[in-house]
């Protein structure tokens, strides 16, 4: 029963996330690249998006830390504490290059699939391939990224 | 100032979504990790991860229902560039254990030093990439 409730909670959370992305302008790669164009014609609106999102979730996480367990599960699935290491930094560098080239990061790209736009499908297909190459290849077996996804 | 209201409302909804997922299911709203997890053998959280992705896909549909139009999307990159970018985003977010949502929203909200380093790194790398491609074009 609680598994069904967890699916319902996840569906609702995903819907709110996707609606938020749609409202915020994060689905528009030109806007995202404008946000990254700090050295050129900078569009600061995504600072407001990130600021709003972090403010609300900081309150949410502060509350979560005071609780023994979430409402629908026996415990919190906190990420395992790990070191700041080479894979973290190299991965973030590669992600940033792809983000800057396209204006897409994973959340908006996956959400935008439902608009039926072919270039989005190309991006997401390549993204899934990149994930698979990491997770199934030698790198994924050596780094925590392959096993600790969140 | 009112031009920023949709951005603010959208950001608040994203924060609300992350809050719901941690308080109800005890899970971090990290899209790259959730999507990659769907490639594994179904167990435990697989079905709720799938439900999250279905909800994510329904987000723009709900926006269409509310406003009568799809969210604006201006994609300038050519298909080969999009494919290269997608591969780098997929590989990079797995190697770095997170993306804009997991490190950016949830990690910063948890005051995770690891996420702060990741966010500063991918912002810098994204800013330099946009500056360099702008200078070359």
In order along its 137 residues, chain B shows pLDDT tens digits of: 678 999 999 999 999 999 999 999 999 999 999 999 998 877 778 999 999 999 999 999 999 999 999 999 999 999 999 999 999 999 999 999 999 999 999 999 999 999 999 999 999 999 999 999 987 77
The span from the CA of A105 to the CA of B88, in Å, is 10
The span from the CA of A135 to the CA of A149, in Å, is 10
A43 close contact with B: CB closer than 8 A: no
Q: Which residues in chain B have Cβ-Cβ distances shorter than 8 Å to A57?
A: 14-15, 18-19, 22, 29, 105-106, 109
- Do B27 and A126 make contact, defined as CB atoms within 8 angstroms? no
Q: Largest Cα–Cα distance in chain A?
A: 53
pLDDT of residue B74: 97
pLDDT of residue A141: 60
Mean pLDDT of all residues belonging to chain A: 92
pLDDT of residue A150: 38
Q: How far is B1 from chain A (nearest CA, A)?
A: 10
If you count DSSP H runs as helices and E runs as strands, how many of each does chain B have, helices first? 6, 0
pLDDT of residue A138: 82
Mutate which of A38, A53, A78 to test chain B, going by most B C-beta atoms within 10 A?
A53
User: What pTM value is reported for the model?
Assistant: 0.94
pLDDT of residue A82: 80
- For residues B27 and B102, the answer to whether their CB atoms sit within 8 Å is no
ipTM reported for the complex, 2 dp: 0.96
pLDDT of residue B44: 75
Could you count the other beta carbons within 10 Å of the beta carbon of residue A8?
A: 15
pLDDT of residue A93: 98
Could you count the other beta carbons within 10 Å of the beta carbon of residue B81?
A: 17
Kind plus residue range of the DSSP H or E element containing A66? helix A45-66
pLDDT of residue A146: 41
pLDDT of residue A147: 43
CB proximity list for B135: less than 8 A, separation 6 or greater:
none
Out of B19, B82, B121, name the one closest to residue A123 (CB): B82
Whole-number percent of chain A with pLDDT over 70: 93
- Give every residue of chain A whose pLDDT is below 50, as ranges: 144-150
pLDDT per residue as tens digits for the range B19-45: 999 999 999 999 999 999 998 877 778
pLDDT of residue B41: 75
- For residues A127 and B38, the answer to whether their CB atoms sit within 8 Å is no
């Amino acid at each position: 029963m609680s598994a069904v409730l967890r699916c319902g909670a996840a569906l609702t959370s995903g819907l709110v996330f996707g609606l938020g992305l749609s409202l915020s302008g994060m689905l528009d790669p030109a806007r995202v690249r404008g946000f990254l164009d700090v050295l050129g014609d900078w569009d600061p609106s995504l600072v407001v998006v990130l600021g709003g999102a972090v403010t609300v979730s900081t309150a949410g996480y502060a509350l979560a830390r005071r609780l023994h367990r979430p409402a629908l599960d026996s415990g919190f699935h906190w990420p395992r504490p790990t070191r700041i290491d080479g894979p973290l930094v190299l991965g973030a560098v590669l992600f940033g290059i792809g983000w800057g080239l396209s204006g897409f990061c994973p959340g908006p790209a996956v959400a935008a699939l439902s608009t039926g736009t072919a270039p989005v499908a190309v991006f997401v297909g390549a993204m899934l391939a990149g994930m698979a190459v990491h997770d199934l290849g030698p790198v994924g077996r050596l780094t925590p990224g392959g096993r600790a996804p969140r | 100032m009112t031009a920023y209201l949709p951005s603010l409302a959208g950001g608040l909804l994203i924060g609300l979504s992350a809050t719901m997922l941690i308080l109800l299911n005890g899970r971090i709203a990290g899209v790259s990790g959730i999507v990659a997890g769907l490639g594994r053998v179904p167990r435990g959280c697989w079905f709720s991860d799938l439900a999250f992705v279905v909800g994510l896909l329904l987000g723009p549909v709900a926006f269409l229902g509310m406003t009568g139009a799809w969210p604006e999307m201006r994609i300038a990159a050519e298909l080969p560039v999009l494919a290269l970018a997608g591969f780098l985003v997929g590989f990079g977010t797995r190697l770095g254990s997170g993306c804009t949502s997991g490190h950016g929203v949830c990690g910063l909200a948890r005051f995770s030093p690891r996420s702060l380093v990741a966010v500063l790194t991918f912002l810098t790398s994204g800013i330099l990439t946009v500056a360099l491609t702008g200078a070359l074009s």
